[in-house]
Structure 1
Amino acid sequence: MIETIKIGTLKWHHILDPTDEDLQFLKDDFHFHPLDIEDCRSRTNQRPKIDIYDDYYFLILHFPYFDRWNRFLKVKEVKIFWGSDYIITIGKSHWVVKNLFNSGREPEDNYQVRQVGTSDALLYKILEHLMLESLSLLSKLGVEVELINRDLFNKKAERTIERISLTRKNIILVNTVFKPQLRLFHKFESGEIEGYAENMEEYWGNILDYYQKMWDMTEDYQEIVEGLSKTFDSLQTNRTNEIMKVLTLISSILLPLTFIASLYGMNVGLPLQDTHYSFWLLIVFMVLLAGSMIFYFKKKRWM
């Protein structure tokens, strides 16, 4: 089903779930390239790209979003046909696109969609809101990184490991989304994509600034998480070594005591075994032996 907003001579068509009839309409009325139509028909994510034609541009962009439990990041694909007097958004795009479209149909128009005058300005508004939403998402990742840093010395190792792994996974996904698209947005500022309206260079530059900022934040978070992961591994290794050290010292102290106790448990003649105070003498000797070993270990700074 094709929904349409008219803003003067500008039209914004939004197709939530394109049918064969909808795609045929686009092909017949707008004469889009058959390969672009096939990309719109595909249910799998396409690679990000901007195809340039004589009378329109075709954009496929990817933007991350959190799942309903706000834990794992996923990717939403945004497909846009951009002509001189129209914008067409295809498929179950990012919810930001749907919100903007709904705003343009409502009298309040909270996002001021109806104030745009050209397709370039409308595309800029769509991209700007997608960038702002992505920045908000990255801010949440930044908060998670700070929480990991704060709880790094916490005794709950399993929880910290889970949070580090989850955050690292999300950052890697953001990295794989943003990296291939960086060169695409450079095309706007470089002039390779001319658009249809004049004096849009600063606006496209602003979009690139947003994207460059997100890319820098992603790289920074990735480096921080890698550093925190190494620090956590070192802490866990140190804790394990401390535990093994204590267990080794205990074993070292108990070994000679166990040996002495085993000797006197044998059915053979041993010194002092017939003495009336043999048991207590043996206990005193074992205590002195254990104490001397503890003193020696402390002197060597092993304890």
Structure 2
Amino acid sequence: MFVGKDYVVTLHEEVLPPIDHIFSQCQKTLHHRELYMGQGSVFLAYKMIDALVDNCFPVINELIITIEKVDRELEDKNTQTVLEEISITRRNIVFFQTMIKPILPLFEELEEGQHEPLSKNMGFYWSNINDHLKKIAHRLEDSRELIEGISESNESHIASKTNEVIKVLTIFSTVILPLNLVASIYGMNIVGLPLAQDKFSFLILLLTMLVISFIMLLIFKARQWF
């Protein structure tokens, strides 16, 4: 934005609804032209900036609603959706903060009257914008802390699920190991293996394997491994 004695120039890639609304009103009625332009270019710049800043609050409200939605989805264990929305919300908050933080010192200086003629008789107005920007910055910081907390909870949930899967696989592998050993030994062509010639050898070995598995599961249960 460029502000001169009798002009205000704004540069932006897309249409900004708050600014577009101001100029639309000025084109329609003399009353609005006097309201916005009757006190000089600096006041017009203030009104435009004020409209842009006020337009940030609905955006922040949407962010807060999104964070609450993510929190509910985390309770419902919808992990994949939570991961995507956490990533998007984090990015939006960081993007918002990178816009707000650099301009806070500028409006503090304008409020203190450090930039003439922008600050002449405008201290109260710049103070109003500065207060709004500080509120936005605080709400963004609160939102960032909330989404970080949700992210940590989600990571803990994922880690817990991973540990459960690993525990089940470990128990399964441990139970299978002695059974695999017995099967491997009796799969060798070695003369003299116990029960090798017995007609009930298969049933005896199968029963032995089942007993071994059952005993191991009892041991695991007694140790509260599952």
TM range (shorter): 0.7 to 0.9
The 10-residue stretch of structure 1 (130-139 or 240-249) with the greater mean CA deviation from structure 2: 130-139
- What TM-score do the two structures reach when normalised by structure 1? 0.66
Aligned mates of 1:113, 1:215 — CA distance in 2: 32
Aligned to 1:131: 53
Aligned to 1:53: none
Matched, 1:105 2:34: no
Aligned to 2:213: 290
Aligned to 1:150: 72
Q: 1:219 is aligned with what amino acid?
A: E
Aligned mates of 2:121, 2:100 — CA distance in 1: 27
Aligned mates of 1:255, 1:227 — CA distance in 2: 42
Query: Could you list the runs of 5+ residues in structure 2 that have no partner in the other structure?
Result: none
Q: How far did residue 216 of structure 1 move?
A: 0.7
Aligned mates of 1:108, 1:149 — CA distance in 2: 49
Aligned mates of 2:118, 2:86 — CA distance in 1: 46
Q: Which of residues 178, 189, 197 in structure 2 aligns to 1:274?
A: 197
Deviations, residues 169-192 of structure 1 (Å, cap 9, x unaligned): 221111111111000111232122
Aligned mates of 1:196, 1:280 — CA distance in 2: 96
Q: Secondary structure at the match of 1:151?
A: helix
Deviations, residues 171-216 of structure 1 (Å, cap 9, x unaligned): 1111111111000111232122465798644332211111111111
Aligned mates of 2:33, 2:49 — CA distance in 1: 13
- What TM-score do the two structures reach when normalised by structure 2? 0.86
Aligned mates of 2:3, 2:120 — CA distance in 1: 19
Q: Which of residues 181, 186, 198 in structure 2 aligns to 1:264?
A: 186
Query: Could you list the runs of 5+ residues in structure 1 that have no partner in the other structure?
Result: 1-78
> How many pairs align?
221
Tell me if the contact between 1:118 and 1:197 (Cα under 8 Å) persists in the aligned partners. Answer: no
Matched, 1:92 2:15: no
Q: Secondary structure at the match of 1:152?
A: helix
Matched, 1:166 2:64: no
Give the 3 Å change call, closer, same or farther, for CA 298–225 of structure 1 in structure 2. Answer: same
Aligned to 2:150: 228
Please state which structure has a larger fraction of its residues in strand.
Answer: 1
Aligned mates of 1:265, 1:108 — CA distance in 2: 100
The 10-residue stretch of structure 1 (91-100 or 253-262) with the greater mean CA deviation from structure 2: 91-100
Identity %: 32
Aligned to 2:98: 176
Give the 3 Å change call, closer, same or farther, for CA 113–289 of structure 1 in structure 2. Answer: farther
Q: Give the structure, 1 or 2, with the largest relative contact order (CA under 8 Å, sep 6 or more).
A: 2
Please provide the CA RMSD for this pair: 2.4
Aligned to 2:35: 115
